Chains A and B, each alone.
Chain A
């Protein structure tokens, strides 16, 4: 059953030709609002669920637009020909798209034969995750820290719901990639990477793992949205992009 057409959601960006957000030529919809507070978040304007105004030397810019599912789907469908022909589709990212799962669902229901990818932190209640999982073709599942205390320290949240949803994902048939942001000294430690490899190995089906070295430009936007950026790590240190630990567990990993 299709979600309601007048269901609305808050979107903070729509990026065409998003080359790192899945296969083919894709358009990525960034949904506003995230339950996590990752210290390294490079989309701080996506954290608050409400529209806000960014202040920068280039002037003020409003981010966050309320759209109906029908309007957003219509806009995406206008590029349907290109996206289908170029082996791509639509990606939902954020923020955390699961926070607006009903809206995302209502949009997906209206897409015209488009491949859909969900880029999620996995932090959501189980039923929401299951419902959306059933509607998408591929999932990018971000996995940050396996140690629950460290996870709480760096993201403000416990990771149990995330690991439970990862388990659910592993039991589904949906194409999936686990993505690990490599933050120097935080997520790229040998212990964390090994724990992630071990976890991936324990599932019924192995995940492919993408390692994403930390981008130093992350701090750039904090000031503009009135947040403080206080990296608790050495920004100048290159991330430890060690794929061998994954190889030991028979997990395919690559640095992207």
Chain B
């Protein structure tokens, strides 16, 4: 990386940009109240005022500008009135729409003036529909506000003698970009501005697809060299890290700036292009948390590309994360997506599949707690003198109940108006309907959390309590109640059962049973209340902690000791991984275990997590083998894979000497973060995760 960018990255890491920040956001509430504005009007006003409040900041050597200076998103309602907005319904997380992906390609190609014309045309057509008129007026106001902000940046650039920057900003984002630089600059404004009105987890979508035309034009015309293009791209990536501490998330780094590479075009052709490789290359160089890279693969993906991706994995950032087209696309088809849209999938913030511009899906409405479902089935089953099949039936019923409860919570979810986000979607302004009213796809996603522990518990009960009768049912019930205190022998027996992640058919059958029951429960809900379906998933984000320790963000109670020999308070498995403490046979067995799920039904996403020792990445030959491993992941029919590199000694040292490891990045769940900024319990979990040495 060139010196200029190294200095820029250093400045971002030290958060020097924070010095430019204003002390408070503008007061928007007062005027909203004074003028008695509607919700839609308030959100527009918010966006307009936020844009106006932004003060242009252009560092001397910056080519891609926009640095946020407004430190927060101001309120548009009093606390009480805000709660009132959701009376009789439910807010999703913080309220504003999050965790989806805009149609960046469309907006770039049309320019904001193009989008403005569309809004005005629709307004003419729908002029007798006051709701549409209000929405479209708002959308136009938002477009104008962002163009004005870009204009003020251009003025500032001229003032300080940066005519190059000014020239770019006189063109974009108002008009379609003519060059790669203009495209990146336009995207920077469009993408970063979404956060200004309270949205978050704003995905970047299929970056290599929508950026390639601009890159290609410049390269073929000889206007740009590959090296210069890489430099621009690197600067754009660094810029994505500049405001991220202002973005809401569970932990620093959890901000959803994910992008997708490769896969198929909407027409079904191979979508890998020069941009795909350039992103992998540049991400290797930049080595920062954002953007989070995803790569679509299938059984025949070129090993050269996979090797390329493996060299990014070697950097230890925890990406790329892989998705397997061979199973993801059929899964989406089975859930009502058109073939073109299914081929166009990306990930939302972490791992859930979503169609850019067309999905107003709430991909994570919470989790079904498999450990809770299994645990109460075991306890009640023992009480009632059930057979093992009886316990399975109870488990199935519990899963169904939890699923229904979760979905019922969201049946009356209320999404605030989103006029600016609507401009960026495929057809909201075309139809004159705000994004909050829905888009082409309106499914919700739920995850099944703690699956490996729950399956291990079931198989241990089947084997040791029923088949071999080595632990009396009453003893097990008492042992669980006392967190195994005084029952160490029973604990040892139960803990010695087969485990998920070892390609053991008995354990894996229980895993499959859990997800089949979960899929059945979701399929039993034909309408989620938003005109969509319910997609079951395999991710578990922070639930591996929450299910064990309790959290107010969850309805399910924390689960105590479990029948797999786990003590109360110990973490559960995260996404698809063997339960903590399992001596796994290795990565092949892990893949084989999780290949047994039916991903046509369980299609929301959620990765198999494999940790490889960084020693694996010693030479090119070993990189080639990591590439082969990813190919096997695809060929076995697994869905999603997160491959992490870990050096346990380094992590331990970082706990003791954080100052020496300021830049150490680790994968946490669907995102990566600076290790030293994580809360201790997350640090512990990262350290204890399964590691497959060479």
Measuring CB to CB, which residues of chain A are less than 8 angstroms from any residue of chain B? Answer: 14-20, 24-25, 27, 78-79, 82, 85-88, 256
Interface centre among A19, A27, A78 (most CB of B within 10 A): A19
Q: Note all chain B residues with C-beta closer than 8 A to A27.
A: 586, 588
A24-B694 in contact given A15-B586, A78-B503, A78-B592 (Cβ < 8 Å):
no
Whether B586 pairs with A19 at a CB distance below 8 angstroms is no
Bound complex: CA A256 to CA B619 (Å): 8
Q: Note all chain B residues with C-beta closer than 8 A to A86.
A: 625, 628-629, 631-632
Bound complex: CA A27 to CA B591 (Å): 14
B663-685 interface (Cβ within 8 A of A): none
A16-B585 in contact given A24-B625, A79-B592 (Cβ < 8 Å):
yes
A24-B628 in contact given A78-B592, A79-B592, A256-B619 (Cβ < 8 Å):
yes
A25-B622 in contact given A19-B694, A82-B632 (Cβ < 8 Å):
no
- Cβ of B635 within 8 Å of any chain A Cβ, yes or no, is yes
CB distance from A252 to the nearest CB of B (A): 15
CB distance from B505 to the nearest CB of A (A): 10
Question: Which residue in chain B gives the minimum CB-CB distance to A16?
Answer: B586
As a 0/1 sequence over residues 395 to 412 of chain B, the CB contacts with chain A under 8 angstroms (1 = contact) are: 000000000000000000
A19-B625 in contact given A78-B503, A85-B632 (Cβ < 8 Å):
yes
Q: Note all chain A residues with C-beta closer than 8 A to B618.
A: 20
Q: Note all chain B residues with C-beta closer than 8 A to A25.
A: 588, 625, 628-629, 632
Interface centre among B585, B587, B632 (most CB of A within 10 A): B632
| CB < 8 Å neighbour of B622 from A14, A19, A88 | A19
- Cβ of B178 within 8 Å of any chain A Cβ, yes or no, is no
Question: Which residue in chain B gives the minimum CB-CB distance to A82?
Answer: B632
B69-89 interface (Cβ within 8 A of A): none
As a 0/1 sequence over residues 618 to 654 of chain B, the CB contacts with chain A under 8 angstroms (1 = contact) are: 1101100110110110011000000000000000000
Whether A17 pairs with B592 at a CB distance below 8 angstroms is no
- Taking A25-B625, A25-B632, A82-B632 as given, write out 8 further A-B residue pairs in contact, using a Cβ cutoff of 8 Å, ordered by the A residue number: A17-B588, A17-B625, A20-B618, A25-B628, A27-B588, A82-B635, A85-B635, A86-B628
Judged by DSSP, the binding face of B is helix
Q: Note all chain B residues with C-beta closer than 8 A to A88.
A: 628
Q: Note all chain B residues with C-beta closer than 8 A to A79.
A: 503, 588-589, 592
- Cβ of B126 within 8 Å of any chain A Cβ, yes or no, is no
CB distance from B47 to the nearest CB of A (A): 50
Q: Note all chain B residues with C-beta closer than 8 A to A14.
A: 585-586
- Cβ of B277 within 8 Å of any chain A Cβ, yes or no, is no
Q: Note all chain A residues with C-beta closer than 8 A to B90.
A: none
A20-B622 in contact given A27-B588, A79-B588 (Cβ < 8 Å):
yes
Whether A17 pairs with B587 at a CB distance below 8 angstroms is yes
CB distance from A113 to the nearest CB of B (A): 17
Q: Note all chain B residues with C-beta closer than 8 A to A82.
A: 588, 591-592, 632, 635-636
CB distance from A153 to the nearest CB of B (A): 30
Q: How large is the interface on B (under 10, 10 to 19, 20 to 34, 35 or more residues)?
A: 20 to 34
Bound complex: CA A86 to CA B589 (Å): 15
Whether A17 pairs with B629 at a CB distance below 8 angstroms is yes
- Cβ of B616 within 8 Å of any chain A Cβ, yes or no, is yes
Whether A20 pairs with B588 at a CB distance below 8 angstroms is no
- Cβ of B692 within 8 Å of any chain A Cβ, yes or no, is yes
As a 0/1 sequence over residues 579 to 623 of chain B, the CB contacts with chain A under 8 angstroms (1 = contact) are: 000000111110110000000000000000000000010110110
Bound complex: CA A82 to CA B628 (Å): 10
Q: Note all chain A residues with C-beta closer than 8 A to B586.
A: 14-17, 27
Interface centre among A18, A25, A87 (most CB of B within 10 A): A25
**What 5 pairs between A and B have smallest CB-CB spacing?**
A16-B586, A16-B588, A86-B628, A19-B622, A19-B625
CB distance from B273 to the nearest CB of A (A): 27
Q: Note all chain B residues with C-beta closer than 8 A to A19.
A: 616, 621-622, 625-626, 694
CB distance from B570 to the nearest CB of A (A): 15
Question: Which residue in chain B gives the minimum CB-CB distance to A86?
Answer: B628
| CB < 8 Å neighbour of B694 from A18, A85, A87 | A18
Q: Note all chain A residues with C-beta closer than 8 A to B619.
A: 256
Q: Note all chain A residues with C-beta closer than 8 A to B588.
A: 16-17, 25, 27, 79, 82
CB distance from B75 to the nearest CB of A (A): 52
CB distance from B134 to the nearest CB of A (A): 59
Q: Note all chain B residues with C-beta closer than 8 A to A20.
A: 618, 622, 694
Whether B636 pairs with A17 at a CB distance below 8 angstroms is no
Whether A16 pairs with B635 at a CB distance below 8 angstroms is no
CB distance from A53 to the nearest CB of B (A): 15
What are 28 residue pairs bridging A and B, where the CB atoms are less than 8 Å apart in the complex?
A14-B586, A15-B693, A16-B589, A16-B692, A17-B692, A17-B694, A18-B694, A19-B616, A20-B618, A20-B622, A25-B588, A25-B625, A25-B632, A27-B586, A78-B503, A78-B592, A79-B503, A79-B588, A79-B589, A79-B592, A82-B592, A82-B632, A82-B635, A82-B636, A85-B635, A86-B629, A86-B631, A88-B628
CB distance from A179 to the nearest CB of B (A): 15
Bound complex: CA A87 to CA B626 (Å): 13
Bound complex: CA A79 to CA B625 (Å): 16
Q: Note all chain A residues with C-beta closer than 8 A to B616.
A: 17, 19
Q: Note all chain A residues with C-beta closer than 8 A to B587.
A: 16-17
Q: Note all chain B residues with C-beta closer than 8 A to A85.
A: 632, 635
Whether B628 pairs with A87 at a CB distance below 8 angstroms is yes
CB distance from A54 to the nearest CB of B (A): 13
Interface centre among A15, A17, A82, A256 (most CB of B within 10 A): A17
Question: Which residue in chain A gives the minimum CB-CB distance to B632?
Answer: A82
CB distance from B546 to the nearest CB of A (A): 27
Question: Which residue in chain A gives the minimum CB-CB distance to B628?
Answer: A86
Q: Note all chain A residues with C-beta closer than 8 A to B625.
A: 17, 19, 24-25, 86
Q: Note all chain B residues with C-beta closer than 8 A to A256.
A: 619
Question: Which residue in chain B gives the minimum CB-CB distance to A61?
Answer: B583
Q: Note all chain B residues with C-beta closer than 8 A to A16.
A: 585-589, 692
Question: Which residue in chain A gives the minimum CB-CB distance to B649?
Answer: A217
Question: Which residue in chain B gives the minimum CB-CB distance to A256?
Answer: B619
Question: Which residue in chain B gives the minimum CB-CB distance to A79?
Answer: B588
CB distance from A13 to the nearest CB of B (A): 10
Bound complex: CA A87 to CA B503 (Å): 21
Bound complex: CA A24 to CA B636 (Å): 17
Q: Note all chain A residues with C-beta closer than 8 A to B628.
A: 24-25, 86-88
B560-591 interface (Cβ within 8 A of A): 585-589, 591
CB distance from B156 to the nearest CB of A (A): 53
Q: Note all chain B residues with C-beta closer than 8 A to A15.
A: 586, 693-694
Bound complex: CA A249 to CA B591 (Å): 45
Question: Which residue in chain B gives the minimum CB-CB distance to A26?
Answer: B625
CB distance from B507 to the nearest CB of A (A): 14
CB distance from A45 to the nearest CB of B (A): 15
Bound complex: CA A111 to CA B90 (Å): 59
CB distance from A210 to the nearest CB of B (A): 11
Bound complex: CA A18 to CA B618 (Å): 13
CB distance from B500 to the nearest CB of A (A): 16
Bound complex: CA A27 to CA B588 (Å): 9
Question: Which residue in chain A gives the minimum CB-CB distance to B623?
Answer: A19
Question: Which residue in chain A gives the minimum CB-CB distance to B585?
Answer: A16
Bound complex: CA A27 to CA B586 (Å): 9
Q: Note all chain A residues with C-beta closer than 8 A to B632.
A: 25, 82, 85-86
